[in-house]
Structure 1
Amino acid sequence: MAENSMSRRELLAMLGGIAPLLLTGGVEASPIDTNQTMYTLPADIKFTPQDGAPPQSVESAFLYSHPSKQGIYYALLRWYPGYMSAPHSYASDRLCVVLSGTWWINSGADFDPAHTVPVPAGTFVRRIARTWHYDGVPRGEAGPVTIAICGIGPVDIRLAEPDKPLARAV
């Protein structure tokens, strides 16, 4: 037997010695330091209606900073069935992930909900700065969609039709 090899008896003795640690968890972990690792449980995330939008149309939850402030922000957006955004653009890219439900998206300044594309939970969507787009959930869908959005603020939102509201019934 080679010098570096371990006999079967030695291996079993070693494993037998650490087995109690593996089964009981062994070493006790230190408590989390919420000054270093911050978290918000789902029940504690508060969605609020967007300003000027009809009730039960679109809501936001700002998890980190705010799109109106300078720098990175992270938010959740929830669209309810029967509502979509009007064509709009932002000053910087927005990175989006569909968390639940189906989000219906399109690009262009011509608002045509019939030509939106459904993207299910798990889909990544990148909105390119200063390109027109719109999205939401058409009437008749089973439930709302929740999207995680990250970007650089301030967003400087622009509407393709500034005389019309951002949230539209469809």
Structure 2
Amino acid sequence: MTHQEIMNAKTTGTKAPGSSNLGAVQEIVIHGDPSKPGLYTILLKVAANTKISAHHHPDDRVGTVVSGTWYFGYGDKFDKDKLKKLPVGSVYSEVQKQNHFAMTGNIPVIVEITGYGPSGVTFVNPKDDPKR
């Protein structure tokens, strides 16, 4: 997909498997189906100034920053001091059931994530889950 096709692509909504359930995070499925067993690739379009609380996924995942600057950290609660600045081209991992958190700065971010489904999301603090 070209950058323009990505920007214009229809998203699967905010409560898609593999996403964080936040209204500021839109998911585009590139390959496979994250709700089913098998390899999948998704793009997450994350709005500017978005904070994603600590959570984990049931599958191992690898992320690549496609546009913007992504701030990502590991731990059981959101901690700005533990965030690592990941510019375009950066690659990171989301290990199965390892708690992590993220945020964006003043510009939107697109992250490509590949994993082996089925995927999902569990927030450390259930009150942080917008799906509730």
Q: So what's the TM-score if we normalise by structure 2?
A: 0.81
**Structure 1's 119 and 166: CA in aligned 2 closer, same or farther, altered over 3 A?**
farther
> Which of 58, 61, 67 lines up with 1:94 in the alignment?
61
Over the matched positions of the two proteins, sequence identity in percent amounts to: 25
Between structures 1 and 2, the one with greater helix share: 1
What is the match of residue 129 of structure 2?
165
CA-atom RMSD in angstroms: 2.0
Determine if contact 2:62/2:92 at 8 Å carries over to the other structure.
Answer: yes
Whole-angstrom distance in 1 between the partners of 2:44 and 2:120:
17
Where relative contact order (Cα < 8 A, 6+ residues apart) is larger, the structure is 2
Q: Radius of gyration: which is bigger? A: 1
82-91 or 144-153: bigger deviation: 82-91
Which residue, 34, 37, 43 being the options, matches 1:70?
37
Residue in structure 2 matched with residue 153 of structure 1 by the alignment: 117
The alpha-carbon distance between structure 1 residues 126 and 166, as it changes in their structure 2 partners (threshold 3 A), is farther
Q: Which has the higher strand share?
A: 2
Measured in 2, the distance between the counterparts of 1:66 and 1:135 equals: 23
Match of 1:105 in 2: 72
CA deviation after TM superposition for structure 1 residue 109, in Å: 0.8
Worse-superposed segment, 119-128 or 109-118: 109-118
**Counterpart residue type for residue 53 of structure 1:** L
* Unpaired stretches in structure 1, ≥5 consecutive residues: 1-39
Which runs of no fewer than 5 residues in structure 2 stay unpaired?
Answer: 16-20
The AA in structure 1 aligned to 2:69 is T
When the two structures are superposed, what TM-score results if normalisation uses the length of structure 1?
0.65
Aligned length: 123
